[in-house]
Amino acid sequence: MAADRIPPGCRHNSGLNQTSHLCLWLRRPHVMDSLPDLGCHADLSSTKSAGDSIAGSRSEGRRLCHPRIRLNRPMNRPMPGQIGQICALDGSLIDIGCRLPPSCSICRTPGTGGPDDRVGKSRTSLDVSGQFEGESVVVTGAARGLGHGIAAAFAAEGADVLICDVNAAGVAASADQLASRFGANVKAMVADVSDESAVAAVIDGALDRYGRLDHLINNAGIVRIARLIDVDEEAWDRVIDVNLKGVYLTMRAALPHMLDAEAGSIVNIASQAGKRGNLYIAPYCASKAGVISLTQTAALEAAPHVRVNCVCPGFINTELQEEEYDEVAAITGQDRDEIKASWVEAMPLRRFQEVEDVAASVLYLSSPAASQTTGEALNISGGMVMD
């Protein structure tokens, strides 16, 4: 591993030296398998029972060669730079590409991490670094779909995660999956975010469990498909209560603790529908426009120590979206495949967003990399919205 093989801009010339890079290289499964058992390296393939994971147990491993490589994380969680596998959101195993720059000749692995694999394609894996190790996050609406995916992304990065949802069975199953897949310290709570007392209990639950609240992700949301003239007041109120009032209540409950700590970040899930009108979802559009404006107001009031941002996805490939095709078809009389094709056609990138695409953006906005970003409404819509 000659020094001239490491480009000047590569992170291996800043923070990680060649010795630690060797340690990372040695941790790749195909290398580990070829090494004799010296009794000094941890078994990365080991897993815990769901019960142990829910209890928050953390496996400890002995150091291989360098003090800056931390092994005090679950051994089924890949190390930084490791080429290995992790459970996808559907439970299948997927390969993790090297997260280090493809320009580094040491890191680059054929078919993994190079420009041909990344440019113009949606993410299909979670690149993990442990950047949220020791931090806590609350994710609302996390029984399935996007909320579960965001919680999984934080869990994979080492965060302690509290998830809540009105679906009791769903949120319990989601927590079990997170704990068993990532060894995460997960707490599940049943809560309706439009209920003030329930929201207060969620925030208190996170503080009681983890002793701190670093991140809040407001994902809970519902949609009602109907022409504006057919939307009754009850349906309108319910969408506004969950999508907008819920964000207000959770931020109001969480912000005092973050302000006292002079640290924290909030990411609200808005929508491209909050930036422009969309057919047959009037209350949803109104609620998400409100979330964007509320995010900006909160960002001004929470500065300088707490950052508040939102993301604006377009069409996310989830169960909820599959249900929407049928509901729109019932109104218009169109074939659901025609509807799906028209939605794809509306995006310059010509593909739906995946849960991982949105989760990656949420992690970015929650990370120190976004330390100069607050009050933003980040589009993740395949180019459908560009303002």
pLDDT tens track for 3-16: 433 333 343 333 33
60-72 pLDDT, tens digit each: 333 333 333 333 3
pLDDT of residue 128: 64
pLDDT digit string (tens) for 86-98? Answer: 333 444 333 333 3
Is 55's pLDDT higher than 90?
no
> At residue 44, does pLDDT exceed 50?
no
Between the alpha carbon of residue 363 and those of residues 48, 216, 311, 351, the distances in Å are 25, 11, 11, 22
In the predicted model, is pLDDT for residue 196 greater than 70? yes
Active site residue 280: no
Binned at pLDDT 50, 70 and 90, residue 125 comes out as very low
Q: What pLDDT, in 10s, does the model give residues 358-372?
A: 999 999 999 999 999
Task: Output the pLDDT for position 61.
Answer: 35
Mean residue pLDDT across the chain: 77
CA distances from 58 to 163, 234, 275 (A): 20, 47, 43
Query: Helix, strand, or coil here: 292?
Result: helix
Q: Quick one: average pLDDT of 24-30?
A: 37
Q: Which of 93-97, 231-235, 352-356 has the highest mean pLDDT?
A: 231-235
Question: How high is the pLDDT of residue 151?
Answer: 98
What's the pLDDT score for residue 243?
A: 99
HEC readout, 22-84: HHHHHCCHHHHCCCCCCCCCCCCCCCCCHHHHHCCCCCCCCCCCCCCCCCCCCCCCCCCCCCE
- Give the mean pLDDT of 244-258: 99
Q: Regarding beta strands 84-87 and 93-96, do their DSSP bridges make them parallel or antiparallel, or are they unpaired?
A: antiparallel
- On whether the CB atoms of residues 378 and 387 are closer than 8 A, the answer is no
| pLDDT of 31 over the 80 cut | no
Q: Which residues of 229-258 are buried (b: 16+ CB within 10 A; e: fewer)?
A: eebeeeebeebbbbbbbbbbbbbebbbebb
107 pLDDT exceeds 50? Answer: no
Catalytic-role residue among 210, 248, 284, 325? 284
Please report which confidence band the pLDDT of residue 127 belongs to, taking 50, 70 and 90 as the band edges. low
Cα–Cα distance for residue pair 260/325, rounded to 1 Å: 45
Name the pLDDT band for 177 (thresholds 50, 70, 90).
Answer: very high
Domain ranges of the chain: 1-129, 136-380
- Indicate the helix (H) or strand (E) that contains 10: none
What does the pLDDT read at residue 246? 99
**In this structure, which CATH number among 3.40.50.720, 2.60.40.1290, 1.10.1270.20, 3.40.50.1820 belongs to the domain 136-380?**
3.40.50.720
- Give the pairing type, strands 265-269 and 215-218: parallel
Q: Which residues pair with 285 in a beta bridge?
A: none
Residue 292 confidence (pLDDT):
99
pLDDT band at residue 268 using 50, 70 and 90 as cut-offs: very high
d(CA 10, CA 102): 9
Write down the pLDDT at residue 208. Answer: 98
Please give the average per-residue pLDDT across 306-317, as a whole number. Answer: 96
Distance CA 340, CA 345 (A): 9
Is 182 in contact with 47 (CB distance < 8 Å)?
Answer: no
State how far the Cα of 304 lies from the Cα of 370, in Å rounded to an integer: 13
Least confident range of 15-19, 146-150, 355-359, 361-365? 15-19
